[in-house]
Amino acid sequence: MILTYGLSLQAQDQNFDANWLFFNDKAAGAETSDFDDSQWRELDLPHDWAIEGPFDIKYNARAGGLPFHGTGWYRKHFAMPQRAEGKVVRIEFEGAMYNAHIWVNGQQVGHRPYGYIGFEFDISQYLRYDGSDNVIAVRLTPEPLSSRWYPGAGIYRHVWLKVDEPVHVAQWGTYITTPTVTDAKAVVQNETQVVNKSDQGKTVTVRQQYFDPQGREVASIEEQIVIAAQSTATAASYVNVANPQRWDLDTPHLYTATTTVLDGDQVLDRYESRFGIRSIRFDTEGFYLNERKVRFDGVCLHHDNGALGTAVYRRAIERKLQIMQDMGINAIRTSHNPPSRELLELCDEMGLLVLDEAFDVWKLAKVENGYNKFFDEWGEIDLRDMILRDRNHPSIVMWSIGNEIIEQSDTQKGWTVAKKLNDVCKTTDPTRPSTAGFNWYPAPYDNNMAQQVDITGINYKPTKYSEVRSNYPRLPIYGSETSSCTSSRGVYHLPIEKYQTHESLQVTSYDLIGPPWAYPPDVEFYYQAQNPYVMGEFIWTGFDYLGEPTPYGGKDNSTNGRWNSDWPSRSSYFGAVDLCGFPKDRFYLYQSQWTDEPMIHLLPHWDWQGMEGQNIPVYCYTNCDEAELFVNGQSMGRKVKGQNKTTLIVDFLRYEPKTFDSPYRLSWDVPYQAGSIRVVGYKDGKAVQEKEIRTAGTPAKISLSVDRAEISADGRDLAYVTVRIEDKDGNLCPNADNLVNFDVKGAGKLIAVDNGNAASTESFQAPYRKAFSGMALAILRSDKQAGRIKLKATGEGLKSTSVTVITK
């Protein structure tokens, strides 16, 4: 199919995602215009070819057991009208995984190896403007052992075709800062780069207009600049905005700057930038947003979207962030790479702080085909481009130059690399501090690496906070990775014990198991409270993610990167939320510390047939003052949070005691008897919350619930359907693993299924799924025609049901 792109008199960016052709293998000559691609698969971007599977041990469990490496080709046919000739035509890729090479009409226009960074090329000189066929070809060659987790594959973020006059605003061309912010006035500074691709010098007017969150113009200014031929000039200006509406966590107000480039009355370019008016500062006592001290209650997040793979869906990212906000978070660490544009836009809109991270590796390798192969040539370029792309986002408060970099142990040269990267941060955006995540204390401090960044992130060393403070009193610190606790949703192993791995390939949800460096969340809560100058924490991780199935499969940065010894364990157990987005018990432990609205949570399930009379440890997570447990209506006693402690078994590096008395959990030992357990939470002596769990009967029916009853008919919007196996009375059957079949009719498709089981090789794209701990997930995607999507779920011996989603 040849698509013709219409052009208005003004410059425009056009989404270029539709109607690509894909081939997943080597294809000699596929870069040429006359290559026969008639048998290739037609699809729309973004696209992750690897998530389609199948799972196989040969693909390495460390990276998710999915076929993300090899060669993939994408081609697109399109026509350009004659009136586009003489304009500047650019192609922008927001992300392509990885080692992208781009051709237009058989001519190579460029390449970019790092799969996480956006890039663009000027393709004007390679195009035909007579309405005939143009072909863009993209070759990707991701390699095995290129990542410590599942990186995905393909053109997994959006593509844009940009058509401009020779004089236009540069890529990521505005830099908007707010050097002064008071209640009465904000100074908004704007440095705009304007490119002149013509062979003549130009004098142009740059008009800056500013609009408040309600769309009202609040300031404007014009400036004339002279741009020499084939060069770039900067228009620098500032305006005062009266009574600014500040961007903050609870009030994420966003302003818009419209930059118009004029030659007399002719509009050459119009460029919009969103920004927020806010102030940030850091010192050794903490982080301050709008002069208010704020603690990071944060999570680390990888970039995949579970069963959807790495392909960018705005709704998938929005849902992920909403679930995290329900847990109580206020901050995201983009672990360990530049994030999608959508994530940053959503954090701006939702009031979330962002630690924007560039790299997991520098020169020294963690896996054999990692980014270290490209770092010398591309490291500073990629970091600078990340900052240029992202620096107008008010949500971003720190630039991270790396995570657990192997150079921490380099006594001579490691610090010099850190200094170069820090210098890039300072020259590109001096308004935000630099940071990095260090896990080999005291080596990076002894080797002068930690001193090269403004704020030091400390990974998994809560017991060392006071020592770092004492030895380096001028270095601000925070927990850049914390806890690393692992668990499987709905799984409870008795008796409670601290084991390395379990024969089931699952991990108990009593929230105490982890790898050697890991510890229960309670330990971090305690040491953060003891050291209030620590700026907060980013837990590892908010969501489960594909690959790196710790504690199964291997050791970090060892076993040559191959983690297949516990196959089919193939994805993370670290999340407070599973791969489906279903909360684990740990979600509520964090919620009990990070939220104020009264809440209470109870675990485990209450189906222990054959264990009648045996003691079952019952835990309660709450932010109430007290909680009282009832078993079949009989009180087991009221307990006070903070006073009645729960002894946890712990065993992690650099921690001598083998137990920790947690003031953050309440617990009772209860002789099992079928029926119900119920907990009541009290504040100021009044009952404010309760939770009851009943012993379930035989699985009898399927229950469906959808996250949104209406979605957009745009071909990209999603509806998430939660599937529960219940008894006849509506109680969840916590051990059910029934097979559920799905049938979809109407204005949408079933695009993914999952159940949160990290040790399953069931296809994410099959029209069926077994339940895991009684639950599963179905994801629907709209078509481009409005209507209704009806999902029917059936299972042998179960009462079927259906749910309908309206698309508009």
Instruction: Supply the residues annotated as catalytic.
Output: 404, 481
Q: What is the sign, positive or negative, of the torsion defined by CA atoms of 488, 494, 495, 499?
A: negative
**Beta carbons of 105 and 127 less than 8 angstroms apart:** yes
The token duo for 666 is 């309440």
The DSSP secondary structure of 200-234, one letter per residue, reads S-EEEEEEEEEE-TTS-EEEEEEEEEEE-TTEEEE
Is the peptide bond prior to 604 cis by the omega test (within 30 degrees of 0)? yes
69 vs 79: CA distance, rounded Å = 32
The token duo for 546 is 């594909």
**Beta carbons of 729 and 746 less than 8 angstroms apart:** no
759 vs 62: CA distance, rounded Å = 12
Q: Check residue 571 and report its DSSP letter.
A: B
402 vs 422: CA distance, rounded Å = 11
> Which amino acid appears at position 216 of this protein?
R
213 vs 210: CA distance, rounded Å = 10
Q: Which residues are within 8 A (CB) of 217 and not within 5 positions of it... i.e. 6 or more apart?
A: 209, 210, 211
> Which amino acid appears at position 34 of this protein?
D
Q: Which residues are within 8 A (CB) of 383 and not within 5 positions of it... i.e. 6 or more apart?
A: 358, 359, 401, 421, 424, 425
Question: Torsion-angle region of residue 774: left (phi > 0), alpha (psi -120 to 50) or beta?
Answer: left
Say if strands 634-640 and 686-694 run parallel, antiparallel, or are unpaired: unpaired
Beta-bridge mates of residue 677: 631, 693
528 vs 522: CA distance, rounded Å = 10
Q: How many CB atoms lie within 10 A of CB 601?
A: 20
Beta-bridge mates of residue 286: 283
> Which amino acid appears at position 783 of this protein?
D
Q: How many CB atoms lie within 10 A of CB 243?
A: 11
Element counts in the chain: helices (H) and strands (E): 8, 47
Say if strands 396-403 and 434-438 run parallel, antiparallel, or are unpaired: parallel
